[in-house]
Amino acid sequence: MSEKASPLLRLENVCKSYHKNLVLENISFEVNRGETVTLIGPNGAGKSTLMKISLGILEASSGSVHRDASITIGYMPQKVMIDPVLPLSVRDFLYLRPNTSYDDVAEALETVRLSRLSEQPVQGASGGEMQRILLARAILGKPDLLVLDEPVQGIDIMGQQEIYGLIAQIRDETGCGVLMISHDLHLVMASTDQVLCLNRHICCSGSPEFVKDNPEYHAMMGRPMEGVAIYTHHHDEGHEHKHHHGHDHD
Ligand SMILES: Nc1ncnc2c1ncn2[C@@H]1O[C@H](COP(=O)(O)OP(=O)(O)OP(=O)(O)O)[C@@H](O)[C@H]1O
Ligand SMILES: [Mg+2]
């Protein structure tokens, strides 16, 4: 075997149009084992579309998608429809996934710390619990690659941190790669290796620290993240008046 394992997923120059509407333009990136890649971008940026292309649910209009053929993928979609009438326990909801045993279900519920809900109706789960149930479902097949479309939507900040912590824990324990979508860079910084800022094309990418200070990122998101740059970004006037950095704007 070669020294460096090949990526779990690699996209090269992927473009996607819906009818004549170009929604993804020249997207290239890869996801490796043990690594988390986070997609950030505004609504309509093409994040879900890019995930579906990565998974093979949708076909790219051009470019190439290489998925390691031997790997198992766990997917947590942005939306799931559950019959509101049919009575179904959390345990049986998870058991519906093909090739799943009740032991697998128990283990996955344990991992997301929801064992106590096993016998409860899945329709009764709160928003935050539902997200964790869907995470449990995504890890049932012991995936090599975990693909998560907004795993924390509708969850309060404490709950969001908990879910991101769980995802990082699963990654570290299993060595899987993670591709996920987030709207909050600061919440995912600690557990992300690579950030892709997407707004139809990749505006900027790199480590979370790099992206955080990147003007392209701030331009894309329309506002700096809460409590950070907007309040701390005073120019030096009045403070270090004489200290000139060589910029010539006065
Ligand atoms: N099946 C479709 N047919 C036509 N246009 C589509 C289809 N799916 C998505 N689009 C369009 O493609 C663009 C990207 O959609 P996508 O769902 O990938 O965005 P997103 O970044 O996931 O947004 P959000 O943050 O709101 O989930 C949008 O303008 C959307 O209207
Ligand atoms: Mg989406």
| Residue nearest (by alpha carbon) to ligand 1 atom 18 | 46
Domain boundaries, the chain: 1-72+145-156+176-225
Tell me the three-class secondary structure of 75-129, residue by residue. EECCCCCCCCCCCCEHHHHHHCCCCCCHHHHHHHHHHCCCHHHCCCEHHHCCHHH
C-alpha 243 – ligand 1 centre gap (Å): 48
Atom number in ligand 1 closest to CA 45: 21
Atom number in ligand 1 closest to CA 49: 18
Q: Which residues contact 103 (CB under 8 A, 6 or more apart)?
A: none
Scored b (16 or more CB within 10 A) or e, 92-113 reads ebbeebeeeeeebbeebbebbe
Atom number in ligand 1 closest to CA 52: 18
Q: pLDDT by residue (tens digit) across 69-117?
A: 899 999 998 878 877 778 899 999 999 999 999 999 999 999 999 999 9
Q: Which residues contact 206 (CB under 8 A, 6 or more apart)?
A: 194, 195, 214
C-alpha 213 – ligand 2 centre gap (Å): 24
C-alpha 44 – ligand 1 centre gap (Å): 5
**Amino acid letter, residue 28:** S
Residue 46 has pLDDT above 70, yes or no: yes
Q: Which of 8-12, 66-70, 203-207, 229-233 has the lowest mean pLDDT?
A: 229-233
Q: pLDDT by residue (tens digit) across 114-167?
A: 999 999 999 999 888 999 999 999 999 999 999 999 989 888 888 899 999 999
Residue 35 has pLDDT above 50, yes or no: yes
Ligand at minimal distance from the CA of 40 is 1
Q: Ligand 1 pocket test: which of 16, 21, 78, 221 has the largest number of ligand atoms within 8 Å of its C-beta? A: 21
| Residue nearest (by alpha carbon) to ligand 1 atom 29 | 44
C-alpha 18 – ligand 2 centre gap (Å): 15
Rounded alpha-carbon distances, angstroms, from residue 135 to 11, 163, 210, 212, 231:
24, 9, 29, 27, 36
Average pLDDT across the chain, whole number: 87
C-alpha 48 – ligand 1 centre gap (Å): 7
> What was the pLDDT predicted at 120?
96
1-72+145-156+176-225 to CATH, choices 1.20.1250.10, 3.40.50.300, 1.10.3720.10, 3.30.360.10:
3.40.50.300
Q: How confident is the model at residue 232 (pLDDT cuts 50, 70, 90)?
A: very low
> What was the pLDDT predicted at 4?
66
